Structure formats: C-alpha cells, structure tokens
Amino acid sequence: MPPVDGIWGTPTSTIDWCEENYHVTPLIAEFWNTISNVIFIVPSLLMLGIGTIEGHEERFQWCHFSVFTVGFGSWCFHMTLLYSMQLLDELPMIYGAAFHLYSDIEVTSPLNHKNRPLQIGLAIYCAIVTAFYLLSQHVIFFQVSYGLLVTLMVFSSVRLMLYYEHNTLLYLTGLVTYMSGFVLWNLDQHFCGNLQNMATRAPEYPLGSAQVHIQMCEKHNLRIDMTWEDCDEFICSQCAKTDHKDHDWKTKQEVKGEKS
C-alpha cells in the first residue's frame, strides 16, 4: 500500500506489504501482519523453557530461539515499517533457516554431536548474505538466499523420509505447508494490487478487504509449520535421552528386516 504516516513516522522499509497502513490503529502500521507473529513468539518461548528444563540438545534450543527472533523481528518490522526493523525481521530468517538446516542434517548423528565443517560453512554463507544484502539492499537477493536454504531443508527432509522410519504425515504436512507459505509470502509481495482489486470488486462478499488480512495471517502461520513440526519431532526423539545415548533412527531396510 502507499506509505501512510503514523506514530512511527514515514515508512523507510524497502518493502510495503499489501495490508493498509495504520488502518486499525495509529500505533501499528500493519495490524494483522503484526499480531499474527504471536504464533512465532509464544510457542517458541514455551519450547525454550521446556527444553531448558528437560535438558534438550543445544541445537534444538537454537532452533526455538531462532523462531522467536524471527517473530520478534517481524513484529517490530510490521509495526513500524522502518528499514532497521526490516533487517531485524529478514536477517534472522536467514540465520534461523541455517540453524534448522543444520539440525535437520544432524538429526541422525550421535547425541550432542558437533559438525564443525557444516557449522563453519553455514556461518560463512550467512556472513556473505548479510554483507551483500546490507550493501545492496536488493530484496530479490534476500529472497533467493532464503529460498536456497528452504530448498536445502526440503531436500534434507525428503532424504529422511526416503531412508528412515518416520511419521510420514508429519513430514508431508510440514513440507507442503512450508512451501505453501513461501509461495504466499512471494505472492503477497508481487501481486498486492491484484489482491486488493479482488477485495474491492466484491463488496457483496461479507469479509470484503478483511479477506486480504486473513490471508496475511495465514501466510505467517504456514511459514512456521515445517520449522515447528520438525523441531517438535526431533525433541520427541530426545525425551527418553536418559535411557538412550544416541538417536534411535532406523533405516526402512532395518525395520523391514526386524519385521521379517
């Protein structure tokens, strides 16, 4: 939407989302895009607390913390539409995706295993993306950089699905919803005018333009699904860590052999 001044001043972000600015309250630029981040913040804080009490692996804790930082940054960004807050939203998305990719790859490793080469590689990738994005402010570069990490997460999850016993429905739900969220996220940026036209041209539709806001909330909910489901399953595999030193991941062939 065209920039509208509010309590936070003139928007300075390089992206202005489809939701009408300061339409609900002068305190929040994009009301629905802001409050929908509760789905990031509250569950991640709860799981951080549970993980601390239960003594879960460090990588799981970093996953939950990264989800919290994305939610907090996104709240600040959509509330203010300031460029500094935009970076607080977008850069944690890169770092969080790197944490989740690392955790996904390491899920079959021994308990508390440290994959230093992978850690260094992901850290270098994040540093390069951060430096280039800060210098160029090129949104497409950010989207491609984030999309690459998402694609690698998908491939890693598919690998687990193909070779190891798992909850198929859980993984398929995570894959489909996460990719759907990524698509909706991009559609919201590139086809805002079309979405607004659909709302304004259907005055008889009871939800009217609120439908666009609902789609925004749905976008945020979908974007978290695979992250949350993956971490939830990994943590469940650690609940009996006092009885099992290592992860008990079995290949499909091993399970088939046991059944025969």
Give the amino acid at 91: L
Query: Can you give the pTM of this predicted structure?
Result: 0.75
Residue 19 in any domain: the answer is: no
Residue 151 in any domain: the answer is: yes
CA–centroid distance for 48 within its chain: 16
Annotated binding residues, written as ranges, equal: 16-17, 19, 21, 30, 78
pLDDT in tens, 234-249: 444 443 343 333 445 5
Annotated binding residues for Zn(2+), written as ranges, equal: 78
Task: Please check whether residue 227 is in contact with residue 41, taking contact to mean a CB–CB distance below 8 angstroms.
Answer: no
Fill in the DSSP letter of residue 19. S
pLDDT in tens, 121-173: 999 999 999 999 999 999 899 989 998 998 898 888 788 777 777 677 777 77
Residue 188 in any domain: the answer is: yes
Higher pLDDT: 233 or 162? It is 162
CATH of the domain at 235: 1.20.1070
Average pLDDT for the chain: 77
> Looking up tokens 């666009």, which residue turns up?
212
Output the pLDDT for position 222: 42
Binning pLDDT at 50, 70 and 90, where does residue 107 land? Answer: confident
Distances in whole angstroms, Cα of residue 178 to Cα of each of 31, 39, 160, 230, 233: 23, 14, 17, 11, 16
Residue 2 in any domain: the answer is: no
Residue 187 in any domain: the answer is: yes
Binning pLDDT at 50, 70 and 90, where does residue 80 land? Answer: very high
Residue 38 in any domain: the answer is: yes
Output the pLDDT for position 20: 84
In angstroms, rounded to a whole number, what is the distance separating the alpha carbons of residues 186 and 15? 12
Q: Which domain holds residue 152?
A: 31-241
Output the pLDDT for position 111: 80
Residue 231 in any domain: the answer is: yes
Q: Number of folded domains in the chain? A: 1
Output the pLDDT for position 202: 53
Residue 219 in any domain: the answer is: yes
Segment of 1-5, 12-16, 114-118 carrying the highest mean pLDDT: 114-118
pLDDT in tens, 44-76: 999 999 999 988 888 889 999 999 999 999 999
pLDDT in tens, 167-217: 777 777 777 777 777 677 677 767 776 666 665 555 544 433 333 334 444
Output the pLDDT for position 109: 82
Annotated binding residues for Ca(2+), written as ranges, equal: 16-17, 19, 21, 30
